[in-house]
Structure 1
Amino acid sequence: MPTVREIEAAGYRSLKSIRFPVGPLSVFVGGNGTGKTNLYRALGLLQAASAGTLTRALAAEGGMESVLWAGSRRKGEPARVRLSAELADETTGHAYTYAVEVGIPPPVSGGAFALEPQVKTERLTLQGGARPVTVLDRDGPAGFVRDEEGRKRSFGTDLLPTETALAALQDAVRFPELQIVRQAMEAWRFYHDVRTDAGSPLRRPCLAVTTPTLASDGADLAAVFATLAHIRGDTVDLDAAFADAFPGARLMVPPPEREARFGVIFAEYPKRIFEPSELSDGTLRYLALAGALLAYRLPPFLALNEPETSLHPDLMEPLARMIVQASKRTQVWLVTHSERLAAAVAESGGVRPRLVLKREGATGIEGLRLSGDFSQDEAGEEDD
């Protein structure tokens, strides 16, 4: 499945205009208010475009008036959110660039509500030869898509201004490039602020269904553990990661019947199994992160936003080791407040954390050049 090679965002919250490369393990660290979470959110919006929920996601964030870059714009520049992702398929040597622009409906428009976000443009280009080929090109309601033989076709469907063509054109045989990109982006998984309160689904049993990948809300954590223990029959990495964080403790995963369950035995109480409802928020959150990072099958792109929340500082190093281990199986994107976690990931994974900062209200990344890559000095340091 294609991997993410580059991300670009403009006009979105504090992201005035930024383009940067993405590697197997990307680490972004910065203080409050620098806009690092907006980098994470921009990824989520790109996935929403592939799923057909982009305008709904923007509306849920407060609408265009809330998400648009609030700073100055060039004269005549439209007020739009622009997002793009470049994906690379190492097997075929092909690269795909998907870009979408969203804005506000004109004063007289029958295709969207007055303040509803509206897709203005979409483009998908394929680089697999001497010159890039435009596979999808949309400007408002008009545009074309190339079929499996490379011929231009009309969309063949009545696209609403609030719908993305990437999500709407679902014919995998006629439009294979759209299918490849859509499938890759829809498979991305995001983990942020997993609930650990008393009513959290993590504290309850879940349906005993084979679950290779943890859901974004963590609700199927017990099934993920059961899949490792009783379908794969191998919990070596999971057990090691738990013991790394809680020496002497053991994770117990009984064979599931109608429901999957798990519990913990701590060294101080070797004869008692603690149920998830009894575990501290930090312990449960660490277990959820273990489920996300060590699952039977990892998503092609896994994004973590501030995973250190509610964890004891001493858990940063064990968490970092899990993150690095996961990055050997898939692409991992980490946004964190914790300099300790970023440093631990750097030490274990040999990757340079990128400092997110703000200049004149706009989010930037230290060392990032206007060309969209990092300075040679920094690249050289990372290679050493």
Structure 2
Amino acid sequence: MYNTLKEQIIAGSKEIGIDKIGFTSADPFDHLKPSLLEQKENNHTTGFEHQNIDERVYPELIFDQPKSIISIALAYPSRMTTRPEKVRGEKRGKFARASWGTDYHDVLKDRMAKLIAYIQEISQDDPDITFKPMVDTGELIDVAVAQRAGLGFIGKNGLLITEEFGSYVYLGEIITNIPFEPDTPKENQCGSCTKCVDYCPTSALLGDGRMNATRCLSYQTQTKGMMPEEFRPKIRTIIYGCDICQEVCPFNKGKDSHFHDEMEPDPEIVQPLLKPLLTISNKEFKTKFGILAGSWRGKKPIQRNVIIALANSRDKTAIPNLLQCIEEDPRPVIRGTAAWALGILGQGNDAIKEFLIDSLEKEDDQEIKIEFVNAINKIDTN
């Protein structure tokens, strides 16, 4: 009975718009617990993860009598089909690929809701079957579920790598009390390749599929405070996320999937002009960027990253904009980051040095004062 149901679900999933589907047991992922505890003890976690480790490992703690977990993958594009318009004298920033198109959490939730409805329909609305869908904001570790369900293997960069789509996939899972026959897990195929580890600009990857997540540039672009100075040059002009470990992965060579209209990027949104973002209102930000997964922390981290990107691109036309940030912006993080950027762009400019000295006298935030002093010293020494 359940084998037939499983085959029906696999066939139906394609009609729903699910690119890959697999099934695994709801047995504990207890082999992960020591690693998760070690990561937490070493302060390698970001705080964005679900905090109860036992609930991440034992499905029975979050679902009554679980029998199986259905894992799904949706492939997303790795290349844009069109480029944004070139504007003379203006620099653009970039959102990483995982933030192209409609927020993937919403897309995954839509597909899982449709899949659950389909299962209920072909099960003749059996009231005894139950489901719990989740994405990466849920309790379970989606790559661990997907690997055990046979969708792909976990690479040295910690991402799930599928045969068909590389690591350019979004993952979701559904816990259920239906006892499906599990699929065969995939074994790691990285071999001796260490490209993702070698090219990670912050040495965040530990080489065994784990990472020090606090050093990951994707995490750093999502924080709300001052970005540590060592990471600022490394984000280049990326204002959200990081794709480097995916770009260098041999399994991603030639992978570019365009199956879902919701995931197609608007070039003007995912590669926006930088300077206009410095004065965008909350309403304008939500209207233009609210659809993106990269908007979830609001405009402040994006604007901080924009200032860093302007400095990294050596865009001296942005100097008046940065002066305005220091004079008018009430947020210390924006003022401090602008001061750091002026220390780079204002090298040899005595007028900017005097402006920073005057602004330092008005500044009352101790952390930001340090940024002003460092910027002034940088102008002096260059």
TM range (shorter): under 0.3
Q: Which has the larger radius of gyration?
A: 2
Structure with more of its chain in helix, by fraction: 2
| TM-score, normalization by structure 2 | 0.24
Structure with more of its chain in strand, by fraction: 1
